[in-house]
Amino acid sequence: MAVVPGERTSENCRKIIREMKERTGGRVDLLITSDAYAPYATEIEEAYHTLVPVPRRPGPGRPPNPKRVMPAFLCYATVCKKREKGRVVEVTRALVFGAACVLAWLLRRSQVSEQINTAFVERHNGTDRRQNGRKHRKTNGFSKDAGLHEAATYFIGYSYNFCWAVRTLTIEDESGRKLSRTPAMAAGLAGHVWTLREWLTYPAKPCSPL
């Protein structure tokens, strides 16, 4: 959905949350999950809160500041994994923003998961590292230039979405024939599996009519 290449910082957390909000059209009926990195909660609240006026009490004094209120149907939960000798030995899930009843409703609505997890983004990150040699660990192919690293990240990410048919997204048509789909097709953004040539030559900005 969104990617911000770079170090794990508060500024980049702000960028990824705001990009996600823009790409989802500002929807607030969302379940957002991440690890327990604290800046995520700060930036999610900053991006999604609304200011509600607080009635002023009779008498002298300054009026109270507006109260920050999060959307009723937005939930943010964290997954914290404890590891020993490289193996996960404990998983702790916590609801940071939102009500437990709303969380249960969002999970029932989900077509892919019945519990709080970060498995999907972790799986995508693993695929991204496998396809992008610049992100291989303990090799001589890692990126040494920030600009090239960012360009390669976007190239791999977007070509994966449009040009790579994912096995688990395969569906059957009315005749029972299996149809391969890319993530973009599953999201309704494409009607076929794009070739790399088609993707690379597609104009970044559609030409304006004459």
pLDDT along the chain (210 residues), means of 10: 88 94 93 93 95 86 89 95 90 94 94 87 83 76 81 88 90 88 91 92 67
Helix or strand run (H / E) with residue 14: helix 10-23
pLDDT at 209: 55
Name which of 160, 163, 165, 150 is nearest 128 in CA terms.
160
The answer to whether residues 69 and 49 touch, using CB atoms and an 8 Å cutoff, is yes
pLDDT for residue 205: 67
CA distance 150 to 156: 10
Distances (CA, A) of 205 to 33, 193, 208: 32, 21, 9
What DSSP character marks residue 56?
P
List the beta bridge partners of residue 32.
76
